[in-house]
């Protein structure tokens, strides 16, 4: 396989915007390896929770990130709300992001299973992790639409959720993600921005696919 055949797709955006759904569908369509980079930060956050370490302890958080192993992505509790909150906090620590950066780039350069490329979803994939990705897509939606989606997701998992609290937590997390000094959440200049607020999953996929196919021919 030549370098020209190696396909890397970066899918960025805030939580509950639909980037995970899109990224998984793209990975299946193009037969690429898939990585949810947010799960790496959740794994670090879960390690801190289990050890009773405060996320303001940057040294301990960086050490936990250095102990990351793919097997941690199979741990129960990764998708708990408490883990997500902890992940958002540790993701703002430069040393944590640096510790996980190499692993993400290795995944893109040498995907598992002999895949000819990768789809990685996150918040800084197109801007920092894979700035030379074949195609970059930034998926967003209004905070109200995203909060409604998150409430529905939690309720389907049997967890109680109050819209006002979910929206408040989302606003706070967005502020942390967008204002952090290292790798803030933002669209890459050459990314396709898709607002999913009023779009179906099929419409989002069709727009992304058309953009990717155009980039591949460029």
Mean pLDDT over residues 160-176, rounded? 90
Strands (DSSP E) found in the chain: 7-12, 33-36, 117-122, 135-140, 192-195
pLDDT tens string 85-129: 899 889 889 999 999 999 999 999 999 999 999 999 999 999 999
Q: What are phi and psi of 12, to 5 degrees?
A: -115, 165
Asked if residue 97 belongs to a domain, the reply is yes
CB of 18 closer than 8 Å to CB of 141:
yes
CATH number reported for the structural domain that contains residue 93 in this entry: 3.40.50.300
Query: d(Cα 103, Cα 86) in Å, to the nearest integer?
Result: 20
pLDDT confidence of residue 207: 98
- Predicted confidence band of residue 1 (pLDDT cuts 50, 70, 90): very low
| 3-state secondary structure (DSSP) of residue 9 | strand
Asked if residue 156 belongs to a domain, the reply is yes
CB of 157 closer than 8 Å to CB of 77:
no
Count how many residues are written for the chain.
218
pLDDT confidence of residue 10: 98
Q: What are phi and psi of 203, to 5 degrees?
A: -65, -40
Q: Single out the residue of 127, 133, 130, 134 nearest to residue 187, CA to CA.
A: 127
**How many other CB atoms are found less than 10 A from the CB of residue 88?**
23
For 95, the domain range is 3-213
Domain count, the chain: 1
Look at residue 35 and tell me whether its pLDDT is greater than 60: yes
pLDDT tens string 170-216: 999 899 889 988 889 999 999 999 999 999 999 999 999 999 999 99
Look at residue 3 and tell me whether its pLDDT is greater than 70: no
Residue in the structure block whose two tokens are 């703002």? 92
pLDDT confidence of residue 156: 86
Query: d(Cα 78, Cα 165) in Å, to the nearest integer?
Result: 20
**How many other CB atoms are found less than 10 A from the CB of residue 51?**
9
Mean pLDDT over residues 52-77, rounded? 91
CB of 22 closer than 8 Å to CB of 139:
yes
Mean pLDDT over residues 55-60, rounded? 90
The per-residue pLDDT of the chain, averaged, comes to 92
Look at residue 53 and tell me whether its pLDDT is greater than 70: yes
pTM comes to 0.90
Asked if residue 218 belongs to a domain, the reply is no
Query: d(Cα 35, Cα 51) in Å, to the nearest integer?
Result: 26
Look at residue 166 and tell me whether its pLDDT is greater than 80: yes
Asked if residue 25 belongs to a domain, the reply is yes
**How many other CB atoms are found less than 10 A from the CB of residue 155?**
11
Query: d(Cα 91, Cα 38) in Å, to the nearest integer?
Result: 9
How far from each other are the two terminal CA atoms of the chain, in whole angstroms?
19
């Amino acid at each position: 396989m030549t370098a020209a055949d190696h396909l890397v797709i970066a899918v960025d955006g805030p939580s509950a915007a639909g980037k995970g759904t899109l990224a998984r569908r793209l990975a299946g369509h193009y037969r690429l390896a898939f990585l949810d980079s947010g799960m790496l930060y959740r794994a670090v956050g879960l390690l801190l929770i289990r050890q009773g370490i405060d996320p303001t302890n940057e040294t301990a958080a960086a050490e936990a990130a250095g102990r990351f192993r793919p097997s941690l992505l199979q741990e129960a509790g990764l998708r708990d709300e408490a883990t997500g909150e902890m992940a958002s906090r540790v993701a703002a620590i430069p040393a944590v992001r640096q510790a996980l950066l190499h692993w993400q780039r290795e995944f893109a350069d040498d995907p598992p299973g002999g895949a000819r490329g990768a789809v990685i979803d996150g918040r800084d994939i197109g801007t920092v992790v894979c700035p030379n990705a074949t195609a970059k897509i930034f998926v967003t939606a209004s905070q109200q639409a995203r909060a409604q989606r998150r409430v529905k997701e939690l309720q389907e998992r049997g967890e109680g959720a109050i819209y006002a609290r979910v929206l408040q937590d989302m606003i706070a997390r967005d502020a942390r993600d967008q204002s952090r000094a290292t790798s803030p959440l933002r669209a890459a200049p050459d990314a396709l921005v898709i607002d999913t607020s009023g779009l179906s999953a099929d419409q989002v996929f069709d727009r992304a696919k058309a953009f990717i196919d155009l980039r591949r021919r460029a």
